[in-house]
A and B are shown apart, each in its own frame.
Chain A
C-alpha cells in the first residue's frame, strides 16, 4: 500500500499533541496536563486499532505505507508492522499513558516537559514502525534530544553528567550505524542498480545471498557497526555505564520510558536489522554476544546487590534483565528468540512499574537511599503489596510475566548449548540461570530493607499510603504483569511467525532464507517455507507447535 495510513496516524498523534501543547500558554498547567493525557490515550487507542487489524498468521510486514521522501537519495518514508514490533508499539503507548499520568507531579516547566514526552513518544513509535533504514536512523537519533532534555531539566543532582553521558554515548555509537547503513545501501545499489534504503528490498537480496557474495569480508565489520549502536542502547555489558546514571538522575516518567521502551530499541534493532541483514555475521557473533550477555547478567546482578540507592539498584537490574533478552536472541533458536522478545515486553512492564513505584515513594519522602527507609510496610500496606507483586515479576516468579521470558530465553540458550550450535556451550545458560537466583537475592534484600525492620527515619511517620488514582496507575501495570504471566499466548501468538522468520533469515543457507518481499510465502511449524496459499492465512495455535516450540501456560 502506498500513501499514509494508520501507522502514520500512530506517529502523527503524539506529534500533533506536541504542537497542540506548544500553543497553550504556559500558565494553564491543568489544560496542558490533560491535553497531554488526551493525546496519550488517543495514541494508545490507535495502537489498539492496529492490534485489532493485525493478523498473526503471517510473518510479512502488514499495513505497510510508502511515500517518496528524498528521491535523489532513494530515501522513502516507509512504515510497516510485524510481530516483532507489534507489542512494542502497544507497550510504548501503554507505558506512555502511565508516564504522562505520573507526570502530573511535575511542577516546573510543565509545558516543555509534556512537549518532550510527546516528541519522545513519536520518535520511539517511529523507530518501531519504520522500514526504511534512514528513517529508522532518523527516529533512533531523534529520541535522544527529548530524553536528554528530560534528564537534564527535571533530573536529580548529577543530571548534567548523566544527560551528557547518555547523549554522547548513544550518539557516538550510532553515528557508525549511519556509515553502516550507507555502505549496505551502496552494496545493494551495486547489485541492483538502484539506490534504496528499503529494509525489505535490501533483505531480499541478502536472502538470496547475492548481496554479501559481493563483499563477504565487509559483513562482519558492518554487523558490528550496527551492533555497537544497539549494544549501547540495550545496554550490553561493556557499554552499560551510561544507564545507571541516566536512570538514577532521570525524572520518574523518564525512567519509566527509558527502562520500558528506550532500551528495547537496541534489542529490537538486533531482531529487525542485524539478524535479517547480516546472517553469517550474526551466526559468528552468537558466541561473543551471548558471552557478553551472560557477563551482563551476572555483573548487573552483582553490582545491583551493592547499591545503596533504590533507583540505582533497579537500574543495574535492568542491565541483568536485558542480558537475558540478548542471550535469548543470540541463542538463535526459536524458543530463545521468542523468550528474548517476550522478556523485552515483560522487562518493560515490570521494571517500568518498579520505577513508577519508586517515583511514588520519592514524591513522598524525597529520598531513595535505603539508609533512610525501613518499616514502610506498616505505613503503606497497599504500596507494599503492589511493590511485592511487581518486584516478584521482575525476579521471575512463575505465574508472573518475568518468568516466561527469562525461562524461555535460558531454555533456548540451553538448547543451543546442548546441541553445541553456533559455538555456544552449556556453561553460558548455567551461569545465566545463576543470574536469576542472584536477582531474587538482591531484589528480596531490597524489599527487606525498605519495608521491614524498625522505622528509623522520623519523616516516615507522617507517610500516607497510595491514593486511589495512584493505585489505578500501578494496577494497570499489575494487570499486564499477571496477564503476561498467566496467559502469554495473547502476546506470543502474534509474534511467533515473525520471530521464526527473523531466526530463519539469520540461520538458513542463502537462497533458503525467508524474505519479507515474497508475499504469500509462509513458514510452517517445522520451520520450512511454503509457497503462496490461496486460502485465508492460518491462525497460529501454540499447542500444535513443533518440539522446538515450547508452549507455556494455557
Chain B
C-alpha cells in the first residue's frame, strides 16, 4: 500500500509507537466525549462543589505556606538521587574485577564524604529545625572593635 510505504519511510521503526499513541488518543477521546454526550446532566450546588464527598474546604486553595517545605523537599530529592547513584553502582560492583572495585570504591567514597560534609552543614545551619531561621551571626556584622575607650577615658580625667 502506498500510504503505508510513506509512513514507513518517514517514521521507520517508530511506526508501531505512533499507532499505539493514535489508538490511545482515540480511545481516551472517545470515552470522554461519549460520556459527555450520552450522560445525563443534573447540576446541583452540592454536585458542583470542589469535593462532592468529604469535608467542606475552608479558606482559599492558593495559600502561602512556609518555604521550609521546599527546603525539606529539596533535601529529600538529594537523598533520593544519592540512593539512585549508590544502587546502580552496587549492582555493577558485585561482578566486577578487583581493580574496578578499588577504583570505583574510592570514587564513591569521595562522593560520600562530600555528601556527609553537606549533611553536616545542613544540620549545622539549622535547615532541619523547623522553628529556626538561618541568620548571619550578629558578631560578623560589627566592624572591628575599636580598642580605645578606656585609655581615652583615663587621659580625659
- In the complex, is A directly touching B at CB under 8 Å? no
The residues of B with any CB-CB pair to A shorter than 8 Å are none
